[in-house]
Amino acid sequence: MKSHLIHHLVKSEDLNHHGTLFAGRMAEWFVEASFVAAASQYGKPEGIVCLKVHGFRFFKPVRNGSIILIDSKVVLTGRTSITVYASVVDEKTNDLLVDGFITFVSVDEAGNKVPHGLTTPEVVDAKEAEIVAQAKELK
């Protein structure tokens, strides 16, 4: 599975009233990174739309000044769907901060679903196999 890596510096304007990363900002970055993975695999960014965000969850608070790394990868494909798994880690500590799945669909110019012709990436280890198994359980 091909990883797409994006770094972000958490700045004061990204914080909530608790002084930690605002969930809405993290969601924005998370969806963007996941879109990059799906659109890169499909090859037509204009032909991909977000269908559903699944299981987006925080494991630890993210502090001001943290540099985070979002690793997104296509883990499952259907006829028109592309499911991406993304994980967010603290670059300094490598602690898992956030993870989840997002499903995109391929569409034509009118917004109708169209087959994308992609195949599910090959699984190379037990961790990837577990992620694919989780993706298959999504509704």
Written as six digits, the tokens of 115 are: 């087959």
Q: Could you report the per-residue pLDDT of 49-91, keeping only the tens digit for each?
A: 999 999 789 999 999 999 999 999 999 999 999 999 999 999 9
**Euclidean distance between CA atoms 134 and 68, whole angstroms:** 24
> Whole-model pTM?
0.94
**Euclidean distance between CA atoms 16 and 65, whole angstroms:** 14
**Euclidean distance between CA atoms 59 and 49, whole angstroms:** 27
Q: What is the mean pLDDT of the chain?
A: 95
